[in-house]
């Protein structure tokens, strides 16, 4: 797919992540894996920190990753899929 934004815009992804964040208390953990967009590209990162684990850092996802513009990324490195809520 050359542009996923027509059927699944990044704004919808951010809305879903924001609803999950609303359920977490500070210190709570969010796992987003196998999604078409990356959480690290969202405006919600001010509320999150990436949980880095050397054993998990180079994990790729089986689905195609897309830029917030809707165009495919050239690699499928997750660049963080475990997050800790740091702010409310």
pLDDT per position as a tens digit, 17-67: 999 999 999 999 999 988 999 999 999 999 999 998 776 666 667 788 999
**Residues in the chain, overall count:** 88
Per the structure, how many domains does the chain have? 1
Mapped onto helix, strand or coil, the DSSP state of residue 78 is coil
Burial class (CB in 10 A: 0-12, 13-18, 19+), 13: buried
What global pTM score does this model have? 0.86
DSSP 8-state code for residue 82: E
Domain span including residue 12: 4-85
């Amino acid at each position: 797919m050359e542009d996923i934004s027509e059927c699944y815009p990044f704004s919808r992804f951010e809305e879903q992540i924001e609803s999950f964040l609303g359920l977490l208390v500070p210190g709570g953990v969010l796992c987003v894996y196998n999604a078409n967009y990356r959480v690290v590209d969202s405006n919600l990162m001010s509320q999150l920190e990436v949980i880095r684990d050397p054993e998990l850092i180079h994990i790729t996802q089986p689905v195609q990753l897309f830029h917030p513009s809707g165009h495919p990324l050239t690699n499928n490195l997750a660049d963080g899929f475990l997050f800790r809520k740091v702010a409310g």
